[in-house]
Amino acid sequence: MSARNAKPSPAGPRTVALVPAAGRGLRMGGHIPKQFLALGGRPILAQSLLVLQASPLIHEIILAVPQSERQYCLDHIVATGEFSKVTKVVPGGVQRQDSVRHALAEVSQETEIVLVHDAVRPFLTEDMIRRVVAAAVEHGAAIIALPMRDTVKYVGAGGVIERTVDRRPLWLAQTPQAFRRDWLEEGHHKALLAGVQATDDAHLVELIGKPVVVVEGSGENIKVTRPEDLVIGEAILNSRTAARSAE
Ligand SMILES: Nc1ccn([C@@H]2O[C@H](COP(=O)(O)OP(=O)(O)OP(=O)(O)O)[C@@H](O)[C@H]2O)c(=O)n1
Ligand SMILES: C[C@](O)(CO)[C@H](O)COP(=O)(O)O
């Protein structure tokens, strides 16, 4: 086992990472769900897990994967010992929110902070983990996000621009997103009862009236969604490899 994925002694409040990895990757196309596609010679999921495994702030990792891939993940991720913090692999659900809820159900009561991170965002960093967990400890909930850089248009029927939107208060949500366990549990529970579907977990915590703060992320923290993102991802990996060589 390399030093990079050795199990460091956990530090800080008990923090459990939930990794939703049960999507079908429809926008990517192809037959293999994108989280299992290779990037830099490893599955994208493994690239993301490496960072969480190496973080001293992460005590445990719970994975949500497609039922059909559960044995593959148990054999190639849990059994190898490389990702010793992965303690549970649960079946995902129809939507991302359902997959997170299935994983959240496995979080122990002594957990203080739950960090949710998309399997298909392999470029998260220890610095992002540290800052978002610290902000969640201080405020109760925090997300990695990017201030909007482009001009924003509100587009109506027929693709006609109706107005230009003031972009100054707008941020693009990313993951990791970190929460007090009880807040995230309450948000998911009330959303399930109300039939509310959200595309990120912060929205569910906002809906129960809790403050969620933003922590600035990086343009490199892309969500691998479409084929062109694989090209961008390889470029990011290459630039990071070159930077390490230059150190
Ligand atoms: N039912 C689902 C849907 C998504 N995800 C996960 O949530 C993350 C972000 O979702 P997204 O990028 O939308 O992935 P997909 O749903 O697979 O993509 P698409 O919408 O193109 O099918 C991914 O790690 C994905 O595996 C999940 O665990 N369960
Ligand atoms: C959680 C997320 O990555 C924040 O930007 C995003 O909402 C996931 O959305 P998707 O439609 O499931 O890709």
Q: How far apart are CA 104 and CA 62, in angstroms?
A: 8
Predicted TM-score (pTM) of this structure = 0.95
Measured from the alpha carbon of residue 91, the closest ligand is 1
- The residue to which tokens 């192809």 are assigned: 30
Task: Look at residue 8 in the predicted model and tell me its pLDDT.
Answer: 52
Task: Look at residue 206 in the predicted model and tell me its pLDDT.
Answer: 98
Among 23, 54, 27, 18, smallest CA distance to 36 is for 23
| Residue 246 confidence class, pLDDT cut points 50, 70, 90 | confident
- Cβ–ligand 2 distance for 221 under 6 Å, the answer no
Average pLDDT on 180-196 reads 98
Q: Are 45 and 238 in contact (CB under 8 A)?
A: no
Average pLDDT on 184-197 reads 98
- Cβ–ligand 1 distance for 26 under 6 Å, the answer yes
Give, as one character, the DSSP assignment of residue 6: S
Q: How many residues does the chain have?
A: 247
Q: Are strands 113-116 and 86-91 parallel, antiparallel or unpaired?
A: unpaired
Q: Which helix (H) or strand (E) holds 65?
A: strand 60-65
Task: Look at residue 3 in the predicted model and tell me its pLDDT.
Answer: 47
Q: How far apart are CA 62 and CA 117, in angstroms?
A: 11
> Complex ipTM above 0.95?
yes
Q: Are strands 42-43 and 38-39 parallel, antiparallel or unpaired?
A: antiparallel
Quick one: what percent of the chain has pLDDT higher than 90?
A: 88
Average pLDDT on 48-65 reads 97
Chain segment 29-38, per-residue pLDDT in tens: 999 999 999 9
Ligand 1 nearest-atom number relative to CA 45: 24
Q: How far is the CA of 197 from the centre of ligand 1 (A)?
A: 14
Chain segment 121-173, per-residue pLDDT in tens: 999 999 999 999 999 999 999 999 999 999 999 999 999 999 999 999 999 99
- Asked if pLDDT for residue 10 goes beyond 80, the answer is no
Domains and CATH numbers, the chain: 15-246 (3.90.550.10)
Average pLDDT on 78-82 reads 86
Q: Are 241 and 143 in contact (CB under 8 A)?
A: no
Query: What's the angle, vertex CA 94, arms to CA 97 and CA 189, rounded to 5?
Result: 35
